[in-house]
Amino acid sequence: MLEVVQESGALYRHDGVFDRSKLTVTYAVNWAEHESRVKTGQCEIRDEFLLAALLSLPEDRLGPVDTRFERVLLKADGALVASVLADPEGGLWAQRRAQPVVDVVSIEITSSTLGGGCSVAHRWAGYGPRTVRVSRSASSFELTEASHYGIGLVLSSGEHLLSPATYVAQRWSSARWRFSEMVYGQFRELLG
């Protein structure tokens, strides 16, 4: 179920399975990019290699294409997300047209134990602030460990015992963009 988190419709939340992990993800939507994709009939971009190619391209001008990305950009999927031109002297030039549609604001894992939730949360380090929701409180050791790794803790009753560490993205990677695209694909399905 898609939940609107803010009255303005700026934030959304839904439960989903992402790479075999059941997560609740809260995110902001770039409506201009969403509308552009709807107009062109394009959904989420699932190919992480294509996303890596797009990250290597400038957004505001043509730039040379690394030879390792030529093949993927010349496919039909590449034509939807980048403008590609062949150089008469050899090689390709391209400009990225696609942008990430969603920006992940938080990731929540529901688990019967803090240890089990933290184990899942570790797989999502680097994708957003992570919080584990459990039915009972945890030991001092478990709380210390979660705090050390920047993982928040919330009880099923809604009581916040530990806030997640402030998340500052070090860089935008093809893996983070792929996760964002998985969230976007589920968002589109939930919109109907």
Taking only the tens place, the pLDDT of each residue in 137-188 is 888 898 999 999 999 999 999 899 999 999 888 888 999 999 999 999 999 9
Residue pair 187/104 in contact (Cβ under 8 Å)? The answer is no
Mean pLDDT of 50-76: 96
Report yes or no on whether pTM surpasses 0.85.
yes
Q: d(Cα 179, Cα 103) in Å, to the nearest integer?
A: 10
Q: What are the residue boundaries of the structural domains of the chain, listed by start?
A: 1-43+99-192, 46-97
Beta-carbon count within 10 A of 8 CB? 7
Neighbour-count burial of 34, counting CB atoms closer than 10 A to its CB (0-12 exposed, 13-18 middle, 19+ buried): middle
Q: What tens digit of pLDDT does each residue of 85-143 get? A: 999 999 999 999 999 999 999 999 999 989 999 999 999 999 999 999 998 888 889 89
| Amino acid 9: pLDDT | 65
Using alpha carbons, select from 55, 78, 58 the residue that is nearest to residue 177: 55
Which residues touch 176 (CB under 8 Å, ≥6 apart)? Answer: 104, 126, 127, 169
Query: Residue 6 pLDDT > 80, yes or no?
Result: no
